Amino acid sequence: MTNPLAKRRYCAITMCRDEDFFLPIWHRYYASQFGAENLFIIDHNSQNATARDILPEAINVITIPFDTPTADKDAQNRKSFDEERWLAISAFAASMLKYYDCVIYNDTDEIYVADHENGLAAYLDTVPEIGTRAGIGIEVYHDIENEPPLDPKQSIFEQRSHFNYKWHISRPGILSHEVELRGNGAMAPVFFDPKLMMLHLRFADHEHLEQRQNLRLEAFDQNRGGQKSRWRLSMLKTLKWVRRFWERSQSDEEFPHVDIIKEFLPDYESIPLRDGSYPRFVEHGMKEIRPRAYFPQI
């Protein structure tokens, strides 16, 4: 059911391919916030696990039966592959804004959460003008020595205790007007909101990380889209990213994100930032955070 506390109409959109692990997490969370009838899943030619197979209860599923856009049918040009994908997502979001006051887009391994006792919709209802809004990017990690595999049906913050700020995933995906989205930005002024977190779950389960990357490598071998994509990485290179996190020192502070945002983006409250105008993540020494107590609905 639609959140009875919400004053605006909200919907959430994702595009996925063979996402049997993350799609149920995405769907469970956003259904609890906006109602399952207001979720839209774009299945991009899944071969191993379609959205319908994964979530037979899903109400709105759209299937694209092709891997590649017309601009790059041989999937050799990563730039055109990504650009056409984001143009398609932007156009679909714009169409939904004819009926909804606010559209939220995430990849399937991402979710927006709000520092508000009644959740995301209730918080966004307190914002006078949503515009093109970004949450602060947080990468979630799996401590394989001390934490069990992630249970998609249980709270993420009850199972994971290691997190890291990432500027380059502080993506704008909460929209109240038409805008052309990009992978890490938008062709419009972007407002950063420290009350919003954009959780990236890619590294939240080590076993699934390996399975997912191996499936992607198989897709590349079959010429199934974006042959020049940076995601065509070996597991060795992928795990280097994980090791970099564990090599950093851990903060003893409990949740200093507002202070950190003010330090690195002192004008974030008054000045909208354009795509590419804010510093990307380059070893700023951003502190690890522990947000489990702040977002009990996740």
Taking only the tens of pLDDT, the chain with its 298 residues reads 566 666 899 999 999 988 999 999 999 999 999 999 999 999 998 888 899 999 999 999 999 998 788 777 776 666 677 788 889 999 999 999 999 999 999 999 999 999 888 899 999 999 999 999 988 888 899 999 999 999 988 888 889 888 887 777 788 899 999 998 877 778 877 888 888 889 999 999 999 888 888 888 787 777 776 666 666 777 788 888 788 888 876 665 554 556 656 665 666 666 555 444 444 333 334 344 444 444 444 5
133 neighbors 17 (Cβ within 8 angstroms): no
**Cα torsion at 218, 224, 225, 230 (round to 10°)?**
10
Q: State which H helix or E strand residue 86 sits in.
A: helix 78-96
278, amino acid identity: Y
Integer-rounded Cα Rg, in Å, for the chain is 18
Residue 242 Cα distances to 224, 245, 248, angstroms: 26, 5, 11
Residue listed under structure tokens 């052309």: 180
Residue listed under structure tokens 């590649």: 68
